[in-house]
Amino acid sequence: MKLLTPDIYVESVLHLDLQKLKDRKIKGLIIDIDNTLVAWDIKYASEKTKEWLLNLKKEGFEVCLVSNNTEDRVVKFNEELKLPAIHRATKPRRGAFKKAMKTMKTNINNTAVIGDQIFTDVLGGNRMGLCTVLVVPIESKEFWWTTFVRRVERHVLRVVLKEHGGEK
């Protein structure tokens, strides 16, 4: 269960206490797109989300978007933001996490992963030894496979929150 347990669990990225990340010496943020920053069927970030993302740099964080989605999806989403981004990441595999850290010039001790899925973002980040942040998914309407996985995740999350109270 430890590999499936996030270090931090919040309602949305907008509710994430950046000071908590700074206290953990986090300098780089690997951030998922779909259902973390926007609903999976929305092409662009809202003004509020764009503002949040662009503020991260002012707060001293490096950012890399990392998505399992297609190049077209990631490029379209990132048109205005112009952030480093990786598409077809195959999370929870390690390759994209390593590439993101190399891009940001960070390491396992000062990088966090922020995402909405236990079996991709949290599992992948924990396998690498990164700080992991789980957010509540933005949209309930999803691909059939994700809907199935969410059912399993809900069970895992209940166990994890019961054992750890939502934050380690």
Domain enclosing residue 126, as ranges: 2-164
Q: What is the pLDDT of residues 147-161, one digit of tens each?
A: 656 566 666 666 666
Quick one: pLDDT at residue 66?
98
Q: What SS3 state is found at 111?
A: strand
Average model confidence (pLDDT) for the chain?
A: 89
Q: What confidence tier does 24 reach under pLDDT thresholds 50, 70, 90?
A: very high
Closest CA to 71 of 87, 83, 85, 82: 87
CATH number at 63 reads: 3.40.50.1000
Q: What confidence tier does 41 reach under pLDDT thresholds 50, 70, 90?
A: confident
Quick one: pLDDT at residue 60?
97
Domains of the chain: total: 1
Does the reported pTM lie above 0.75?
A: yes
Percent with pLDDT over 70 in the chain: 83
Q: CA angle, corner 120, sides to 88 and 132, nearest 5?
A: 115
